[in-house]
């Protein structure tokens, strides 16, 4: 049992697992923020543009059952906006990563004295062979 706990601790403490856990928590919080934005700011404007249509009140009655397809439409719109917001967020993060990688990959500038000394060293190696 102790070895199982030790293995689990080692697994959980790996960088990727911790990063994934943090990403899930942040993603859930970000999703709530975007959902609040959609429900409280964007959808009222969409309703005004569409002539005061409130999607959540769209209902079809079939016999004794009420089919609330408006809630489904609202969920689809929420999903599209949340997915687009996350896409923009990831795109922004990737842009910053690329800039950092470009800085790291930039070839180190060799001053002329060092380059000359390197050439002299290489020539001396050739002569001694």
29-34 own/partner pairs: CB under 8 Å, 24+ apart = 30/85, 30/86, 30/89, 31/82, 31/86, 34/81, 34/82, 34/85, 34/86
- Is the whole model's pTM more than 0.85, yes or no? no
- Which helix (H) or strand (E) is 61 found in, with range? strand 60-62
Q: Which token pair is 122?
A: 């290489």
Are 47 and 40 in contact by the 8 Å Cβ rule? The answer is no
Q: What pLDDT sits at residue 12? A: 66
Q: What pLDDT sits at residue 105? A: 66
Q: What pLDDT sits at residue 107? A: 62
Q: Does residue 73 or residue 78 have the better pLDDT?
A: 73
Are 38 and 77 in contact by the 8 Å Cβ rule? The answer is yes
């Amino acid at each position: 049992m102790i070895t199982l706990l030790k293995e689990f601790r080692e697994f959980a403490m790996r960088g990727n697992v911790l990063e994934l856990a943090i990403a899930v928590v942040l993603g859930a919080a970000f999703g709530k923020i975007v959902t609040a934005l959609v429900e409280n700011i964007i959808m009222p404007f969409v309703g005004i543009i569409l002539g005061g249509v409130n999607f959540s009140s769209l209902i079809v009655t079939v016999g004794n059952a009420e089919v609330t397809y408006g809630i489904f439409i609202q969920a689809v719109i929420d999903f599209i906006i949340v997915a687009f917001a996350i896409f923009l967020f990831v795109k922004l993060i990737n842009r910053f990563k690329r800039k950092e990688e470009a800085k790291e990959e930039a070839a180190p500038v060799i001053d002329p004295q060092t380059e000359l000394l390197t050439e002299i060293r290489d020539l001396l190696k050739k002569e001694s062979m």
